[in-house]
A and B are shown apart, each in its own frame.
Chain A
Amino acid sequence: MVSPGESDETPDSMVRVVARRLPGPSLMVAAALIAKGYAEVGDGFAAGVIVALAIALVYVALGGEAAEAALPLLRHAPKLAVGGLLLALASGFFPLALGEPPVSHRPAPGEHVVKIGVLELFTPLLFDIGVFLLVVGVLTILLHHLARPRGEARR
């Protein structure tokens, strides 16, 4: 179960089907966590780990190669991680260019903020999205490396 490439016992078809379908809904949960994050429980980090857990299930159920064949988008994980980090850094440090301390908000505290339901559109949202992307990317990279059989690493 742990290193699927080497194992002969594959999980039953039920697990495999669910695993393959789960990343989609997990994104939905993540979106909810980010959107509600400022008012209720949740933030970009938890959202990222939840999506990564869904991806981890795919790896466990299908094995490394099959998982990456089933979800070809996974190979963009490094870009996701770096992009997320840059987004988070940019949203944190852009106030320096305006002569304000880092991690200041736009719109500033007390000013009017556009709201869509509970979702408030202001710069910390970008920060949360950046963290989310980074966490998903980093954990997917880690899963990718650990899912490879040991022999392949030496080649």
Chain B
Amino acid sequence: MTGNRAAAPEGAVRTTVDWQGWTACVAAVAGFVLCLLGWLAGGGGFSVPWAPSLDLRLSFTFDGLSALYGLLATGVGALVFAYGTRYLTEHLEHQRRPMLERWRFWPWMLLFALSMVGLATAQDLVLVFVFFDLTAVCSYFLIGFDRSDREARTSALMAMLVTVVAAVAMLIAAVVLYAVHGTFSIPELLARADSSATTTLAGALLAVAALAKSAQVPLHFWLPKAMAAPTPVSAYLHSAAMVAAGVLVIGRVHPLLARSEAVLTGMLVVGAVSVVVGGVLALRRDRLKQVLAYSTISQYGYIVMMYGIGGKEGTGAAAFYVLAHGVAKSALFMTAGAVTSATGQDRLSELGGLGRRMPVLAVASGVAAATLAALPLTVGFFKDELFFKAALAHGPVTAVLSVLAAVLTFAYIGRFWTTLFLGPPRGEVGTRSGLLVAPVVVMAAVAVAGGVVAEPFTRLAEDAAAVSAGGPVDLSPAYHLDARPENLMALAAWALGVLVLLLPRVTGRVSRAVAVAGERWGPKRAYEVVLHGLDRLSTVLHDREVRDLRTSIAAVLVPAGLLIGLAFAATPTAGAYVVGTVAGADWMILPLLVLVVVTTVVIARSRSRMAVALALAVVGFALAAQYALLGAPDVALVAVVVETMLTLVFVAALSRMPHDEPVPDPAIPLRKRRRKDALSGAVAGLAVFVSVWGFLSQPAPSSVSDEHIRLTPEAHGGDVVTVIVADFRGLDTLVEITVLLAAVAGAATLIRRGKLW
């Protein structure tokens, strides 16, 4: 770790109470209480116009799904924040950073929690998108909190790019649905959408955005990298925020997804692959947080599978699973943080036998691990019971997959806990902090309470699933002491899990092979290749553009010309490109145009700079005269005075140029360069010629200018141009005059290092 010594002299590193963190914690507790009251009161909502011209509304409803994710985000949030007050202080002390940097942490954490609650309650697809991306922005700053660490910075960027780029799919889906149904409101969309290709497309797009967020294969690779974040961030991100946001969106729009069998099957497959890939990779990771990160991929794979199974059983089991997993995973991450904080080690191979030295933590995290492994007397048992039940109902293949998933979970979490807390002692235990253990104990207590009395969990999951399934859901998890299939599946999973635990060599080989294959051909590699390719392309373009003045100009003119040409190729040309007749005042304009042509040729051929400047002035004055002839005295006046000023400034600027001839680049022969210049000029010129001709042949029938002329007297004006500039297009003018000042500041910078006078 890189300490920033310069920023933190000895005196500055003083342990003070982290009141920012405690404030965040209190806010989270208050949020939890509010969510609880809201849930018990049966919810409610409001909807106010946001951008009426775009049909956007700020519509929020607190329903069952909101209650589940709201309680999760605030409840886990409160504990993680309390844990974080201690952890962050140690972290900053350790890196010799000033305590002031708490300000770069807690506001983002709080915003993280807030945007999760916002996402859980939002009922407008665009609003959902906004909150969805807000969590990504928060995660970017939190993962990159150790900004002097290159690893942290690239991880933060990766998390943001993968999730935000995928989130664009959600926006596209919103637009597609709006185009068909005319609303962004989710309840209305769910009511109106039918089984059609459009619904399938929109559903698939929504699923892509959600699956990337929930770190599902093949867009899973950002999550293990994101462990560069401080532990409280990881704990929160993996259990109740960010990753949970993905499945939250799936739960929210599930009735829409369920209209298409293809989307459901796709989710089932992606979920199953994620379960296996995440689980197998978690089996042999060495770093504590990496084991847990791959475990998260696998666990959310379960949830996505269940949403893929769908129906009342699938969505109910998924909702229950989110809850149980959130409790267990946050506790396990906080365990990893507490162990690393006490021993200074973050690898399983360096640690062992901590059970006797940290007994409280061992028991509490043992409960959390048991919850994940679905042992009885924890809430985790029910999560797998419901999972098995849903899988059985779906079919034999799914059932086998579900047992395989449970085996993997049992094996990797068993290895994690037994290696840490059992066996011969390894690793020195230094100072221990109660505040790093207490939240784990609370979570363990919650897990056991849920294992004894599942009622509150069940009701919460039922209410949430009622939203996803579009009707009341009845879950009845319970202990049954008989040989029903769910129990047999659970027993099989435990037995096989123990077997996998006892055969570390075989599983190690498989896990390593998968990891190597992933490194070599996996999606992370594709991400890196794409990123490097873009980087290289940008460098090549930049080098071409800035070689000299001519290439800089060509870099603007040629693409502009080509784009205009493309636009014309795609536009119907019937009626365009008419050669009109010459009449009246046109006879006075024609000589002026000839003058323009002549001077243009002079400019192109002349070798004297002064001649070029003066010839350009002739072009300008000739055009000004045309405005006067066309009955636009206002424009003519401005054109004349501006042209005069421009010529004067141009000549003055030219006189400051070096007097000797520029030395041509010897690498490129003169003739070749001339030809290139002529080509770029011709492309740009032709494009402008064609576009102006096409436009003038077909003036828009009901032009906006008629409206301008009609409204001018109402704006107290007689002169249309003035009223347009100062009133109808006033906002444009405001921006333009601001640019004026910026331009002169730029000129001053070039001439006199930025002194305005």
A contact residues vs B (CB 8 Å cutoff): 2-3, 37-46, 49-50, 52-53, 56, 60, 75, 77-78, 81-82, 85, 88-89, 92-93, 102-103, 105, 109-110, 113, 120, 122, 124, 127-128, 130-131, 134-135, 138-139, 141-148, 150, 153
Contact = CB atoms under 8 A, between A and B. Distances in A.
A39 B721 CA distance: 10
A49 to B, nearest CB: 4
Given A2-B655, A109-B714, A138 B719 contact: no
B716 A37 contact: no
B629 interface: no
Contacts of B718: 38-40
Contact of B641 (A37, A39, A46, A78): A46
B747 A142 contact: yes
B677 interface: no
Interface string B703-724: 0000000000011111101110
A38 B744 contact: no
Given A38-B716, A113-B716, A134-B740, A127 B726 contact: yes
B727 to A, nearest CB: 6
A37 B719 contact: yes
Given A42-B722, A109-B715, A109-B716, A146 B656 contact: yes
A60 B730 CA distance: 35
A110 B734 contact: no
Contacts of A38: 716-719, 722-723
B725 interface: yes
B259 to A, nearest CB: 41
A139 B645 contact: yes
A122 B722 CA distance: 14
What's the interface size class on B, roughly? 35 or more
Contacts of B727: 103, 105, 124
Nearest to A141: B744
Given A41-B634, A43-B726, A52-B645, A103 B652 contact: no
A102 B731 contact: yes
B651 interface: yes
A88 B717 contact: no
A147 B747 CA distance: 13
B94 interface: no
A120 B737 CA distance: 23
A130 B725 CA distance: 13
Given A37-B722, A38-B717, A75 B757 contact: yes
A110 B714 contact: yes
A43 B752 contact: no
Interface in B734-753: 734, 737-738, 740-741, 743-744, 747-748, 751-752
Contact of B638 (A49, A89, A110): A49
8 contacts: A3-B656, A39-B717, A40-B718, A41-B719, A42-B719, A85-B737, A88-B737, A135-B740
Contacts of A145: 747-748, 751-752
A78 B637 CA distance: 26
Contacts of A41: 633-634, 637, 719
B648 interface: yes
Contacts of B719: 37-43
A37 B654 CA distance: 35
Given A39-B719, A120-B716, A122-B716, A142 B738 contact: no
Nearest to B753: A153
Contacts of A42: 634, 637, 719, 722
A78 B744 CA distance: 10
A43 B722 contact: yes
The 4 A-B residue pairs with the shortest CB-CB distance in the complex, in nearest-first order: A103-B730, A39-B718, A146-B652, A78-B756
A82 B648 CA distance: 24
A150 B656 contact: yes
Contacts of A134: 737, 740-741
